[in-house]
């Protein structure tokens, strides 16, 4: 029988319940992460969307930066959506980085204000070579530069919107806001491989 | 437009677990952002001052709102008078992230609220009970906040409205489907939205608490009562040490169910805003009554 995975979802602020709901529908156990002790025995970690300054500020105030960085650099599969992508980046334009674990440069609110938020469908061959995936962008960031270890998974209008560096996955869009679980399934594959 | 409405509900989902703070200038906006606010509400006078000074309270000067937009990277919201759709057009023209059609300002229409479907930018509206919330959602609001009684620092009305909302949801959820039309009639709410609440056991949009929240304990109380996040108006910048109190309330919303953490963040915050007992305010002066 397959071992049940427990995936942690960082629950400081933002859309963590949506990720928990998606994972629950996929039959995966979840755990809210708000303290260092919540990081024990996780097969993977999701850093959700929300306000990156609010989440980042809380991570700093509660001394969570160091234990998170240790776990992630030690190989814990980690996926950041939107604000999560910003928090994982080692460079944020005009700002001090937070977790500093993936070699990308990020531009916040890159598409503009809420009036510029949008939805589109895109083929991401690494995740599904046949069918397009619905992508929701909410005051989203994009990636303006990536190091040689980073694999670019998707671009939209010439801008990088999904990337992976070994155990770290980042998307500037929100699969947890759709009923489409293909990106969650892709992340769970990374988690399963890491457990093996 | 349907797609834009979904995106607008989505932005509210990303604000959850956060604190939206009233600010009256760029300096305050920066303090709020630094303290971990998930958004700011730009307005010329906080509700406590509107209450004290009286007169007609209107939409803020767009110049002041634009300065706040420039000062911070988090979403910026601003208030319009109930029914004042031109104030809303103006805020949309300056790309505001969220419009609050608010009872805190003097109403412009004593019968109708704004047709929010006509706008691309999202709206949040106040509500005291489920029927009022569903009427606002029916008009196109993509986020709700319970009203409380703004500018008092007295949390009693916020609690009353959240409990009333939750009671309404429980009643609709457990009702026989045959009773739903009659409930829709009683609540003055659109039938399809009553049906949604029956089927899903929750509002179709995010619901924050507002009106009278002044301490970390108040914020955690509203979260434990089931709120998705909180608005703090006068409670921060009318207190002795705004930066410290703002940060404490942000942490209280994250750790709302952890009494030890709440005890730690509640320590040594200096003076809270001077409160007004809601029971001392004559009925006709209560802001929560505005809205139809």
Contacts 24+ apart (CB under 8 A), B65-69: B65/B91, B65/B94, B65/B96, B66/B94, B67/B25, B67/B26, B68/B23, B68/B25, B68/B26, B68/B29, B68/B40, B68/B42, B69/A113, B69/B42, B69/B94, B69/B95, B69/B96
Q: List the single range of A1-10, A124-133, A137-146, B4-13 with lowest mean pLDDT.
A: A1-10
Residue B79 annotated to the active site: yes
CB A4 within 8 A of CB A195: no
Give the up-direction half-sphere exposure of residue A7: CA atoms within 13 A in the CB hemisphere: 30
List active site positions of A. Answer: 82, 174, 176
Residue with tokens 């706008």: B119
Q: What is the mean pLDDT of residues A37-53?
A: 97
Quote the CA–CA distance of B97 and B95 in Å, as a whole number: 6
Contacts of B244 (CB under 8 A, 6+ apart): B269, B270
Q: Return the half-sphere exposure (C-beta side, CA atoms, 13 A cut-off) of residue B133.
A: 27
- Strand partners for B143: B124, B206
Contact assignment for A14 to B17 by CB distance below 8 Å: yes
Residues of chain B neighbouring A57 (CB-CB closer than 8 A): 34-36, 250
Does residue A182 carry a pLDDT above 70? yes
Nearest chain A Cα to B257, which residue?
A34
Q: Find the catalytic residue in B9, B16, B30, B79.
A: B79
CATH number at A44 reads 3.40.50.880
The answer to whether B205 touches B12, Cβ cutoff 8 Å, is: yes
Residues of chain B with pLDDT under 50: none
A100: left (phi over 0), alpha (psi -120 to 50) or beta: left
> Is the Cβ of B196 closer than 8 Å to some Cβ of chain A?
no
**pLDDT at residue A1 is higher than 50:** no
Under 8 Å CB-to-CB from A110, ≥6 apart: which residues?
Answer: A140, A141, A142, A144, A159, A172
Closest CA to B17 of A171, A49, A150, A31: A49
- Return the bridge partners of A47, or none: A80
Whether the per-residue pLDDT at A24 is higher than 90: the answer is yes
Inter-chain residue contact A83 with B73, CB threshold 8 Å: no
pLDDT score of A3 more than 80: no
Dihedral angle over CA of B80, B13, B68, A65, nearest 10: 160
CB atoms within 10 A of CB A18: 22
Q: Are strands A6-10 and A29-33 parallel, antiparallel or unpaired?
A: parallel
Q: Give contacts of B12 with chain A, Cβ < 8 Å.
A: none
Closest Cα to residue B75, out of B26, B130, B33, B17? B33
Backbone φ/ψ region at B280: left (φ over 0), alpha (ψ -120 to 50), beta? alpha
**Angstroms from A103 CA to nearest CA on chain B:** 23
* Chain B residues within an 8 Å CB radius of A109: 73
Confidence of residue A2 (pLDDT cuts 50, 70, 90): low
Flag if A114 and B38 touch (Cβ within 8 Å).
no
Neighbours of B141 (CB within 10 A): 30
User: Tokens for A164?
Assistant: 């992976």
**Cβ contact B239:B270 at 8 Å:** yes
CB B233 within 8 A of CB B242: no
* CA B170 to centroid of chain Cα atoms: 22
Of the candidates A126, A138, A130, A125, the residue with the CA atom closest to the CA atom of residue A175: A138
CB pairs below 8 Å between A and B: how many? 107
Of A15, A50, A115, the CB nearest to B121: A115
First and final C-alpha spacing in chain A: 14
CA angle A34, A50, B239 (to 5 degrees): 80
| For helices B130-138 and B180-187, angle between their N-to-C axes, nearest 10 degrees | 90
> CB distance B33–A53 less than 8 Å?
yes
Question: Which of B16, B75, B92 is nearest residue A139 as measured by Cβ atoms?
Answer: B75
List, in sequence order, every beta strand (DSSP E) within A38-88.
44-47, 78-81
Q: Do A138 and B10 touch (CB under 8 A)?
A: yes
Range of the domain at A66: 2-195
Give CA separation, B180 vs A150, B161, B167, in Å. Answer: 54, 22, 15
Residues in chain B within 8 Å Cβ distance of A50:
14-18, 38
Q: What gap in Å lies between CA B38 and CA B97, rounded to an integer?
A: 12
* Residues with Cβ within 8 Å of residue A2, at least 6 apart in sequence: none
A91, two tokens: 């460079």
Which phi and psi (to 5°) does residue B213 adopt?
-80, 120
| Backbone dihedral region for residue A68 (phi beyond 0: left; psi -120 to 50: alpha; all else: beta) | alpha
Rounded to the nearest integer, the mean pLDDT of chain A is 96
List, in sequence order, every residue forming a beta bridge with B20; answer none if it has no partner: B39, B231
Q: Do B13 and A16 touch (CB under 8 A)?
A: no
Q: Does B13 touch chain A (CB under 8 A)?
A: yes
Task: Give how many domains chain A has, as a whole number.
Answer: 1
pTM for the full model?
A: 0.96
Q: What is the DSSP string of B227-273?
A: -S-EEESHHHHTSS-HHHHHHHHHHHHHTTT-HHHHHHHHTT--PPP
Please compute the mean of the pLDDT values over residues A93-113 and round it to a whole number. Answer: 97
Chain segment A72-84, per-residue pLDDT in tens: 999 999 999 999 9
Q: Which two tokens stand for residue B36?
A: 């971990």
- Chain B's closest residue to A83, CA to CA, is B14
SS3 B109: coil
């Amino acid at each position: 029988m397959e071992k049940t995975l427990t995936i942690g979802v960082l629950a400081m602020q933002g859309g963590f319940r949506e990720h928990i709901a998606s994972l629950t529908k996929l039959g995966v156990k979840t755990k809210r992460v708000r303290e260092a002790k919540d990081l024990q025995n996780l097969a993977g970690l999701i850093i959700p969307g929300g306000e990156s300054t609010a989440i980042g500020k809380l991570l700093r105030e509660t001394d969570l930066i160091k234990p998170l960085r240790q776990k992630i650099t030690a190989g814990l599969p980690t996926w950041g959506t939107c604000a999560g992508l910003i928090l994982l980046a080692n460079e944020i334009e005009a700002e001090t980085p937070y977790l500093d674990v993936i070699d990308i440069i990020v531009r916040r609110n890159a598409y503009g204000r809420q009036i510029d938020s949008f939805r589109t469908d895109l083929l991401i061959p690494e995740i599904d070579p046949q069918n397009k995936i619905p992508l929701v962008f909410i005051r989203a960031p994009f990636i303006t530069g990536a190091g040689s270890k980073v694999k670019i998974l998707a671009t939209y209008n010439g801008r990088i919107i999904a990337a992976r560096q070994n155990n770290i996955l980042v998307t500037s869009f929100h699969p947890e806001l759709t009923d489409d679980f293909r990106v969650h399934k892709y992340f769970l594959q990374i988690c399963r491989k890491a457990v093996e | 437009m349907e797609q834009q409405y979904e995106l607008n509900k989505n932005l509210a989902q990303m604000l959850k677990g956060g604190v939206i703070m009233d600010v009256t200038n760029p300096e305050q906006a920066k303090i709020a952002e630094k303290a971990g606010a998930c958004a700011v509400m730009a307005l010329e006078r906080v509700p406590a001052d509107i209450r004290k000074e009286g007169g007609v309270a209107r939409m803020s000067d767009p110049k002041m709102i634009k300065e706040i937009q420039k000062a911070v990277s988090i979403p910026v919201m601003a208030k319009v008078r109930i029914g004042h759709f031109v104030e809303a057009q103006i805020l949309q023209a300056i790309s505001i992230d969220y419009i609050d059609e608010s009872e805190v300002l003097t109403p412009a229409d004593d019968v109708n609220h704004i047709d929010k479907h006509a706008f691309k930018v999202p709206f949040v509206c106040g509500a005291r009970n489920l029927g009022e919330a569903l009427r606002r959602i029916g008009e196109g609001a993509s986020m709700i906040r319970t009203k409380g009684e703004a500018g008092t620092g007295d949390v009693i009305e916020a609690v009353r409205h959240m409990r009333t909302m939750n009671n309404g949801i429980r009643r609709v959820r457990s009702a026989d489907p045959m009773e739903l039309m009659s409930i829709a009639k009683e609540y003055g709410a659109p039938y399809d939205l009553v049906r949604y609440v029956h089927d899903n056991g929750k509002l179709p949009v995010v619901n924050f608490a507002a009106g009278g929240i002044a301490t970390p304990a108040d914020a955690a109380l509203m979260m434990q009562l089931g709120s998705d996040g909180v608005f703090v108006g006068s409670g921060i910048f009318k207190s002795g040490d705004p930066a410290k109190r703002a940060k404490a309330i942000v942490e209280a919303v994250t750790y709302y169910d952890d009494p030890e953490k709440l005890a730690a963040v509640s320590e040594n915050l200096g003076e809270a805003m001077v409160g007004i007992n809601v029971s001392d305010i004559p009925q006709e002066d209560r802001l929560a009554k505005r809205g139809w």
